[in-house]
A = this chain, B = another copy of it.
Amino acid sequence: MKTYQECIPCFYKQAGEAAELAGADDDIKEIMINEISKVLPEISLSLSPPEIAQQIHYIVRAVIGKEDPYIEVKRRSNESALKLYPTLKKKVIASGDRLLTAVEIAAAGNVIDYGVKNNLDIRKEIDNILSHGFSFPHSQKKSVFEYEEFKKGLAAAGDILYLADNAGEIVFDKILLEELKGKETVFAVRGKPIINDALVEDALACGIDKVTRVISNGSDAPGTILKDCSSEFRDIYDNAGLIISKGQGNFETLSEEPRPIYFLFKVKCPVIAKDIGSEVGSIVLKKARRG
């Protein structure tokens, strides 16, 4: 997906959040803004938003002098999500359609996205989801939720690649991974720090390695830029029977790929809502157009 002018404010907002988290002062922030502004005209908007964000965060990290400003945010997200795990698990066990409930929980976890919206009350969001059962946003008008097709694809697929998005959210992914027993699954996280995206250390902190094999994709983009990923990741990606892709960043970078990818995420901005024919706030489960 290309980048739209509506995405530009978000790049600056994300950079500002990183600077704030790093404790940068106004002078450092102004230098950062100027350096980003200088580089933007050299970057084509035909690139995807995560490709541009990756470039911008190189500048951000260089100016603020911190390699991982979100490290504490990620730690807290993991911790909060782990506390919710028993409640989420009970919900799945009590469900008449365990897979559906697990998919919905994994999608709900996508609310944890510091890069798009700060200070989300995750607990409140989850409580809301748990108390309303299946009355999810995807039941609303204009929803895109291809569950039946996904279920069939899953039954037919031998091995599954699961593309992670954010720290904390991965505890919700664990719930879904646990429902994929009998399948060979691989859980891929980012290779280096980028915003609050999950790394191998987050997957370990959340015990994902107890459920499935965890790999790094080798990249520090807030999405999956295939040419930027490791050959180990590419090999698994090329051969997976089905790919579950979490979050907007992975959708933005993989939506046109000819692979059996099911995108699962919460729509967080009008650009994506328009692209996908959905609404901001709705949950999307959608197969790649060419997949």
Contact = CB atoms under 8 A, between A and B. Distances in A.
B9 A5 contact: no
Contacts of A40: 33-34, 37
A33 B26 CA distance: 23
Interface in A1-59: 4-6, 8-10, 12-13, 15-16, 19, 26, 29-30, 32-38, 40-41, 44-45
Interface residues of A, number: 25
A35 B40 CA distance: 10
Contacts of A36: 37
A5 B19 contact: yes
Contact of A12 (B12, B26, B41): B12
Given A37-B40, A38-B41, A30 B5 contact: yes
Contacts of A34: 40-41
Nearest to A41: B34
A273 to B, nearest CB: 14
A8 B10 CA distance: 10
A30 B45 contact: yes
Nearest to A42: B34
Contacts of A5: 12, 15-16, 19, 26, 29-30, 32-33
Given A5-B12, A33-B40, 17 more contacts: A5-B15, A5-B19, A5-B26, A5-B29, A5-B33, A8-B12, A8-B16, A8-B33, A9-B9, A9-B12, A9-B13, A9-B16, A26-B45, A33-B45, A34-B41, A37-B37, A38-B38
